[in-house]
Amino acid sequence: MHVSDLDARIVMQVHDEVIVELNEACFSTAVERIESAMLNALPEFPVPLSVKISSGTNWGSLLPLNS
């Protein structure tokens, strides 16, 4: 996943979850890249994967993102 050109950073990764802090200005681009990276991490894996993305200013305010 290429994030070096975005104002974003991976804060934590636990199992299949990735926590990213980012500037709202790069939100859409970051979401697209993160989703693509997670869906295409194992192209040889024959089972389709899904990605759920939530966003908010803190964990208590997370709302699912309809992509």
Q: Kindly state whether residue 34 falls inside one of the protein's structural domains.
A: yes
Q: Is the pTM of this model over 0.75?
A: yes
Whole-angstrom Cα distance, residue 48 to residue 65? 20
Quote the DSSP letter at residue 6: S
Q: Give the ranges where the chain is alpha helix by DSSP (H).
A: 27-39
pLDDT one-digit tens code per residue, 2-27: 557 899 999 999 998 999 999 999 99
Whole-angstrom Cα distance, residue 39 to residue 58? 25
pLDDT one-digit tens code per residue, 29-64: 999 999 998 899 888 988 888 999 999 999 899 999
Q: Kindly state whether residue 1 falls inside one of the protein's structural domains.
A: no
Q: Kindly state whether residue 3 falls inside one of the protein's structural domains.
A: no
Whole-angstrom Cα distance, residue 65 to residue 54? 5
Task: Name the residue range of residue 16's domain.
Answer: 8-64
Q: How many domains does the chain have?
A: 1
